[in-house]
Amino acid sequence: MRKILRTFITILIMILGIFVILKYVPMGGFKEAKKEVKNPNNILVLVNRNFVLADSYKPKDLVIPKVGFAENITSEEKYMRKEASKALEKLFSKAKQENSQLYLVSGFRSYNTQKQLYETRAKQNGKAQADKYVATAGNSEHQTGLAADITNKQGSKGSLTTDFGQTKEGKWLKNNAHKYGFIVRYPLGKEKITGYSYEPWHLRYVGNKTSKNIYEKGIVLEEFVQNEKKTAEN
């Protein structure tokens, strides 16, 4: 009788453990509990699955950078915050000088636009697939006006794919974006930390000093922010 009882208790604990994992760690160790971002205008603002922007947030200094645009870009997505926009112009100009023609696929996206985008992807491909590549409304860096999806001529006429990372332009971005204040936000091998699958096209503006720091250390924004927090506490 005791043996049966112990077996029952063991099974019950295992079931409860699985329930907790499924409920609170949906991907990459990220919990569903979210905290609202308190410093949305900060260049180093951290927005991910845990940190969410208010649905009403929209940067006040949005401008249209003088760069090439993908064919299917919307009017809204042409905008970026002024500082990031100027940096993107310099990045595109240098890339062109070095025979890499780049195109902006998506810059700023509002809360409502992101909501529609996520719902459409989830409806077409299922929630699990949508969660890998598309942020839910409020959890997208595009709402900050500091993120930019970039591609080459071929990608500017279609959808973004990870193959871009193996193209001449994709390799150029990986090796040079940090020189202009940008980082490749979702690099290969860091999925458990960022919470998103590999996206060689997604750049995030963080400023020259921080971008070089992140690039040289081979870390991502989450790790940089955590390191800064530890340094401040010591």
Give residue 133's pLDDT: 79
Strands 51-52 and 35-36 turn out to be parallel
pLDDT in tens, 184-230: 999 999 999 999 999 999 999 999 999 999 999 999 999 999 998 88
Q: Please name which of 173, 180, 168, 223 lies closest in space to residue 202, comparing C-alpha atoms.
A: 173
Percent of the chain with pLDDT over 90: 78
Give residue 1's pLDDT: 54
Q: Distances in Å between the alpha carbon of 182 and those of 43, 91, 199, 200, 213?
A: 11, 9, 14, 12, 11
Q: Please name which of 113, 53, 120, 118 lies closest in space to residue 79, comparing C-alpha atoms.
A: 113
Give residue 57's pLDDT: 97
Q: What is the mean pLDDT of residues 134-157?
A: 95
DSSP 230: H
Q: Which of 71, 199, 223, 233 is catalytic?
A: 199
10 pLDDT above the threshold of 70:
no
Beta bridge partners of 51: 35
User: Model confidence at 19, in pLDDT bands (50, 70, 90)?
Assistant: very low
Quote the pTM value: 0.84
Give the whole-angstrom CA distance, residue 151 versus residue 132.
Answer: 19
163 pLDDT above the threshold of 70:
yes
21 pLDDT above the threshold of 80:
no
Contacts (Cβ under 8 Å, ≥6 apart) of 20: none
Count H helices, E strands: the chain? Answer: 8, 8
Q: Where does residue 224 fall: left (phi above 0), alpha (psi -120 to 50 degrees), or beta otherwise?
A: alpha
199: annotated active-site residue:
yes
Q: Distances in Å between the alpha carbon of 42 and those of 93, 152, 175, 190, 209?
A: 26, 29, 25, 24, 15
pLDDT in tens, 66-117: 999 999 999 999 999 999 999 999 999 999 999 999 999 999 999 999 999 9
Contacts (Cβ under 8 Å, ≥6 apart) of 15: none
Q: What is the mean pLDDT of residues 32-47?
A: 90
